[in-house]
Chains A and B, each alone.
Chain A
Amino acid sequence: MGIVSPGFQGRPRPAGPALPPGQYLTEDFPVLSAGPTPTVSPQDWEFVLATETGAEYRWSWPELMALPQETPTVDIHCVTRWSKRDTSWQGVSLDTLLDGVDTAAGYAVAHSYGGYSTNLPLTDLRDGRAWIAHTYEGRPLPAEHGGPARLLVPHLYFWKSAKWVRGIRLTTTDEPGFWETAGYHDYGDPWREQRYAGD
């Protein structure tokens, strides 16, 4: 720990009962970005789900919109220590997209327009815990927050919720993504404070 500067408190950090350890609440929605914001119009947007055998399932924007829509309201937790309560989204459950997909894969890699990637166990995309979200607080998801569509996996740190998602590849071995190869935790459970490799 460093030398304490008297009177310095930093931003408010209430340890509310339902916040993961080490997180503070924020009202705004900070924009985190590891690169330029890709501009992808819905007309050009396509989502590809690829299995470990090479089979591909594709959805255009109108096809995604025609699928059953869900409206999750969730808390989100960023590894840079902010958490935001009761964010409301609209999107398509991964259960819907994975329905009928024949796979024995144990892992998934989400990849994005702009080159970003992140990995997670396939089971974490199932059972109503993950969505392809295109609407935030009733409006089209802004590009700086991942629009036209982002992955939403709120039970893991938010870097797993890949912005500008363009596809998910199912794999039989775990393939660490952009931050997972640079010191961040492979799984990233905020409640167990799995921030960094080895936590």
Chain B
Amino acid sequence: MSAALTWRVARLAGRRVETPTAHTLLLDVPGWPGHLPGQHLDLRLTAADGYQAARSYSLAAPAAGNRIEVTVQRVPDGEVSPYLVDVYAEGDPVEVRGPVGGWFVWRTDQAAPVLLVAGGSGVVPLAAMVRARRAAGSPAPFRLIHSVRTPADALYADELRRRARDDPGLDVAYVYTREAPADWPGGPHRIGAADLTRHGWPPDRTPLCYVCGPTGFVEAVADLLVGLGHPAGRVRTERFGPTG
């Protein structure tokens, strides 16, 4: 908060394969100032002829010193994400600028119940909140609803299943839009008011709601939440653009 942002050099320290099309990049960024869960960074690539392309990515976890994590979903015909998922090698540099975004954040001293609603890879900044909550020992009750196309598309599924068991006060629910597990009650469907009522909080608990995903998803869920009686001022949104 004290100076204008500058681009810093980040180097790849390792990667985790989350799904066939999504990798988490572990980046070492000397001088990284730390960040809040929900914030993102801008990442810039420069080609040998000077051509540049920049994209925004959510920070996936609390910083560990100079080590940060971003999860990148490969976008078909994209320009930046295929490079980061398929080509980018350990030790190679990219440039990052951040952290940015002071609105779509959760602070560990907030005690109110929290509803997190994610569409697809929109779960990334919300998982950062779940991770920060546990790391800080926060008692704020969290409920996460993750809408995915198929079970194979669910980012961090194993970790979230484990946390739902081990992190006190955390519940995790899934909605499948295209293909659900065989015995799944209700079958595949788009997220609706019934899902938000069953797996979320009643408005009289005055939860803070964070909704992240593609623009159409965020639009629909934010409208549903307001329709259920949540004040618009308690619904924070982050929309993903179609840039690759």
Do A and B pair up? The answer is yes
Complex interface: chain B residues within 8 A of A29 (CB): none
Query: With a CB–CB cut-off of 8 A, which chain B residues contact A4?
Result: 46-48, 93
A11 / chain B contacts, CB cutoff of 8 Å: 79
Q: Which residues 1-55 of A sit at the B interface, judged by CB distance below 8 A?
A: 1-11, 13
Contacts A1-B50, A2-B7, A3-B95 given; does A10 touch B89 at CB 8 Å: no
B100 within 8 A of A: no
B94 at the A/B interface (Cβ < 8 Å)? yes
| 0/1 string, B43-61, CB within 8 A of A gives 1 | 0111111111100000000
B9 at the interface (CB under 8 A from A): yes
Write the nearest CB–CB distance from B14 to chain A, whole angstroms.
17
Q: Render B6-20 as a binary contact track against A, CB cut-off 8 A, 1 for contact.
A: 010100000000000
Interface residues contributed by chain A, number (CB under 8 Å): 12
From B7, B51, B93, B94, contact of A10 by CB (8 A): B51
User: With A and B bound together, what is the CA distance between A65 and B50 in angstroms?
Assistant: 47
Measured between beta carbons, the chain B residues less than 8 angstroms from A3 are 9, 46, 93-95
- Cα of A1 to Cα of B51 in the assembled complex, Å: 9
Which residue from chain B places its CB closest to the CB of A11 in the assembled complex?
B79
Report yes or no: B79 in contact with A2, Cβ–Cβ below 8 A: no
CA distance A62 to B161 in the complex (A): 63
CB neighbours of A7 from chain B (8 A): 83, 87-89, 92
Residues of B within 8 A of A2 (CB): 7, 44, 46, 52, 95
A119 CB to closest chain B CB, in angstroms? 29
What is the CA–CA distance of A187 and B52 in the complex, to the nearest angstrom? 25
Which chain A residue shows the least CB distance to B53? Answer: A10
Give every chain A residue within 8 A of B92 (Cβ-Cβ): 5-7
What is the CB-to-nearest-CB distance from A90 to chain B, in angstroms, rounded to a whole number? 29
- When distances are taken between beta carbons in the complex, the residues of chain A under 8 Å from B47 are 4-5, 8-10
A8 to B48, CA, bound (A): 8
- Nearest-Cβ distance from residue A123 to partner chain B, whole angstroms: 35
Select one of B7, B51, B52, B89 contacting A6, CB under 8 A: B89
**Which residue in chain B gives the minimum CB-CB distance to A3?**
B93
Give Cα A2–Cα B83 distance, bound, in whole angstroms.
Answer: 17
- B243 CB, min distance to chain A CBs, angstroms: 11
Q: Are B79 and A5 in contact (CB under 8 A)?
A: no
Nearest-neighbour CB distance to chain B for A36, whole angstroms, equals 13
B46 proximity list for chain A (CB < 8 A): 1-5, 8
Assuming the A-B contacts A3-B9, A5-B94, are A10 and B79 also in contact, with contact meaning beta carbons closer than 8 angstroms in the complex? yes
Contact A10 B50 (CB under 8 A): no
* CA A7 to CA B44, docked complex, whole Å: 14
B216 to chain A, nearest CB (A): 14
Return chain A residues, CB-CB under 8 Å to B7.
2
Give the residue of A1, A5, A13 whose beta carbon is less than 8 angstroms from that of B45.
A5
Interface hits, B59-108 → A, CB 8 Å: 79, 83, 87-89, 92-95
Contacts of B94 in A (CB 8 A): 3, 5
- Closest residue of chain A to B52 (Cβ to Cβ) is A2
Determine the residue in chain B with the shortest Cβ distance to A22. Answer: B51
| Known contacts A4-B93, A5-B45, A10-B45, then 9 further A-B pairs from the complex at CB < 8 Å, ordered by chain A residue | A1-B50, A3-B95, A5-B46, A5-B94, A7-B83, A8-B83, A9-B51, A10-B51, A13-B49
Can you show 29 pairs from A to B with CB atoms below 8 A apart? A1-B50, A2-B46, A3-B9, A3-B46, A3-B93, A3-B94, A4-B46, A4-B47, A4-B48, A4-B93, A5-B47, A6-B92, A7-B83, A7-B87, A7-B88, A7-B89, A7-B92, A8-B87, A8-B88, A9-B47, A9-B51, A10-B47, A10-B51, A10-B52, A10-B53, A10-B79, A11-B79, A13-B49, A13-B51
Residues of chain B at the chain A interface (Cβ within 8 Å): 7, 9, 44-53, 79, 83, 87-89, 92-95
